[in-house]
Amino acid sequence: MQKSETTTIEKKSYSASRNACKLCSPLGASMVFKGIEGCIPMIHGSQGCATYIRRYLISHYKEPMDIASSNFSEETTIYGGNRNFIQGIDNIRKQYAPAVMGIASTCLSETIGEDIPSLIAEYKDLRGEEDVMPIFIHASTPSYCGTHMDGFHEAVLSTIKTLAAEGEHEKRVNLFTGFISPADIRLIKEVANDFDINYTLFPDYSTSMDNPCWKDYHLIPEGGTSVDDLRKTGQATATIEFGTVLNKGAIAERILNKSSVVSAGEWLQKNRYIKNYQLAMPIGIEATDEFMNILSTVSGIAIPDKYTLQRGRLVDAYIDGHKYVFGKKAIVYGEEDFVIGLCLFLSEIGVEPVIVASGGESGLMKSELIKRNSEAFSNTLFLSGADFETIREVAKELHPDIVIGHSKGYYIARELQIPIVRVGFPVHDRVGGPRIKHLCYEGTQHLFDLIVNALLDYKQEHSPVGYKYM
């Protein structure tokens, strides 16, 4: 395939997805709700939706994952789900006694027009005499519209709208880090602490989805952003948001008034007058530099020597490994903001992303990358709303050297007989997915080593003579 300029695959006149490069919206919302202290997610829809989400998350995180369901049946689909909704909440409260309930809708409940805010109000009226009522947070997450990232950001926004209190601003920073690994969450906390910042990081599932071994089963795992801290997000002086696509995908376009859809940070800036810093995922030197400079600005503290040293070691690693990665061609896929961060990093080390793909449908991946480095992506094929069969078909003609993405693309790497570096979510066919670091200088160093060593391993294994010294 000869290409002299950046291209985008034209959408076909029909809609068919073969192994979609995305997951369902309620899954993303469930991850956010698992990042709230004392919260139980509830799916308002069929039992199968909750089972699918639990199965997917357990496979990646290797942790127990309780997600409740209102358990729609054929009768519920016809007459409405209010009775199931009320009974479901009663059962959850009896068994778990949650402080917070995060309720996500599904294709079925959205299609029949379930008014979940009204159902919540009805429940409160029925049980209003009781002493302890959980906090209810509702996210509209129909899976026929958008991806798990749309559901994720919709849940973050709904939580902030529900809990961010008005009040006098204090020296505090909100960190909305997106769908990152528990290891990355712990890393960002470490960085914020090193800048002596008083912060609220949300969502924080670094403990709830990456637990120590328990002697006794915990119905609700420890950890998560506290309700008190979430209330304080409305009184901060700054917000730092990872991502530039965020919730500008299909839910925004098809369900809501697109002009009014904003991210959590944008909503706080508009309604609580808190300055919002939006930046690409801090993967690579340039993006991490931007993050460090913002932290220095909001904290009033110079960048600690610890990170200057990490940066210097990373530059040295780039130099050491440059000859092994320069000019290599990569397939990159995953969530839009994560892919943008990965591609900016790859452009730093001389790897050419020949295919950049996502199931997301914002249409912003291409413009965001071209805006930052038009030369590096001049020959890149961008696939939005992609499925893996389309990626597979076009990959054969482009002769890539490496695949970078999650486990769902493994069969493409296997067919092309090239290495795959597993990053992001989901990682189903290896252990350690929750412990992969991707962000800042430390995470970038880890990614760089993974990519270089994957290429070296491939070269070594396919050498006609073999060697043990570079």
Domain check: are 91 and 125 in the same one? Answer: yes
Instruction: Identify whether the C-beta of residue 352 lies closer than 8 Å to the C-beta of residue 388.
Output: no
Give, in degrees to the nearest 5, the angle at Cα 336 between 264 and 332. 155
- Same domain (yes/no): 120, 54: yes
Query: 50 and 149 in one domain?
Result: yes
Question: Quick one: pLDDT band at residue 332, thresholds 50, 70, 90?
Answer: very high
Q: Which residue has the higher pLDDT, 14 or 386?
A: 386
**What's the predicted TM-score (pTM) here?**
0.92
Residue 256 has pLDDT above 70, yes or no: no
For residues 195 and 299, the answer to whether their CB atoms sit within 8 Å is yes
The yes-or-no verdict on residue 215 having pLDDT over 70 is yes
Residue 290 lies in a domain: no
Beta-bridge partner residues of 41: 102
**Is 80 exceeded by the pLDDT of residue 291?**
yes
Q: How far is CA 242 from CA 2, 77, 177, in A?
A: 35, 38, 5
> Do 57 and 152 have their domain in common?
yes
C-alpha closest to that of 39 among 153, 122, 159, 120: 159
Q: What is the mean pLDDT of residues 398-416?
A: 96
Question: Binning pLDDT at 50, 70 and 90, where does residue 252 land?
Answer: low
Question: Mean pLDDT, to the nearest integer, of 203-232?
Answer: 94
The domain boundary, picked from 257, 279, 301, lies at: 279
Boundary (domain end) residue, out of 224, 246, 279: 279
Q: What is the pLDDT averaged over residues 382-411?
A: 94
Predicted local confidence at residue 9, as pLDDT:
52
**Residue 199 to residue 39: CA distance in whole angstroms:** 20
Question: H-type helices in 6-137, by residue range?
Answer: 25-34, 47-61, 74-79, 82-96, 107-111, 116-126
**Does residue 114 share a domain with residue 42?**
yes
CA distances from 69 to 26, 92, 101, 241, 283 (A): 12, 9, 12, 31, 37
Per-residue pLDDT band for 16 (boundaries 50, 70, 90) equals: low
Task: Give residue for tokens 């002596």.
Answer: 196
Q: Band the pLDDT of 355: cuts 50, 70, 90.
A: very high
Residue 138 has pLDDT above 50, yes or no: yes
- Confidence at 72, pLDDT banded by 50, 70, 90: confident
- If asked whether residues 36 and 112 sit together in one domain, one would say yes
On whether both 127 and 272 belong to a single domain, the answer is: yes
Which range has the worst mean pLDDT, 122-136, 436-450, 452-466? 122-136
For residues 423 and 343, is the Cβ–Cβ distance under 8 A? no
Same domain, 66 and 215: yes
**pLDDT over 50 (residue 439):** yes
Question: For residue 300, is it within any domain?
Answer: no
Q: What is the mean pLDDT of the chain?
A: 90
Please say if the pLDDT value at position 71 is more than 50: yes
With respect to residue 293, please indicate whether it lies within any of the assigned structural domains.
no
pLDDT at residue 13 tops 60 = no
**Confidence band, pLDDT 50/70/90 cuts, at residue 4:** very low
Confidence at residue 80, expressed as pLDDT on a 0 to 100 scale: 62
Q: What is the mean pLDDT of residues 82-98?
A: 91
192 within some domain: yes
For residues 235 and 382, membership in a common domain is answered with: no
Name the residue with tokens 């849940």: 155
- Whether 258 and 361 map to the same domain: the answer is no
Residue 1's pLDDT band (boundaries 50, 70, 90)? very low
Q: Higher pLDDT residue, 142 or 298?
A: 298
Residue range 289-302: mean pLDDT, rounded: 98
Instruction: Write the CATH number for 354.
Output: 3.40.50.1980
Domain boundary among 218, 244, 279: 279
Q: What is the pLDDT of residue 7?
A: 54
412 and 265 within one domain: no
Report pLDDT for 46.
82
Using a pLDDT cut of 70, give the percent of the chain over it.
91
Instruction: Name the residue range of residue 137's domain.
Output: 25-279
Confidence of residue 6 (pLDDT cuts 50, 70, 90): low
Higher pLDDT, 69 or 77: 69
Predicted confidence (pLDDT) at residue 146 exceeds the cutoff of 90: no
Does residue 49 sit within a domain?
A: yes
Same domain, yes or no, for 455 and 398?
yes
Query: Which pLDDT does position 261 carry in this prediction?
Result: 61
Assess if residue 297 is contained within a domain: no
User: Which range is least confidently modeled, 60-74, 160-174, 206-220, 421-435?
Assistant: 60-74
Q: What is the pLDDT of residue 75?
A: 67
Q: What is the distance between the alpha carbons of residues 73 and 450, in angstroms, rounded to a whole number?
A: 47
User: Are the C-beta atoms of 341 and 281 separated by less than 8 Å?
Assistant: yes
Q: What is the pLDDT of residue 20?
A: 86
Buried b (16+ CB within 10 A) or exposed e, 420-448: bbbbbbbbeeeeebbebbbbbbbbbbbbb
Query: What region, left, alpha or beta, does residue 155 occupy, with left being phi > 0 and alpha being psi -120 to 50 degrees?
Result: alpha
- Structural domain count of the chain: 2
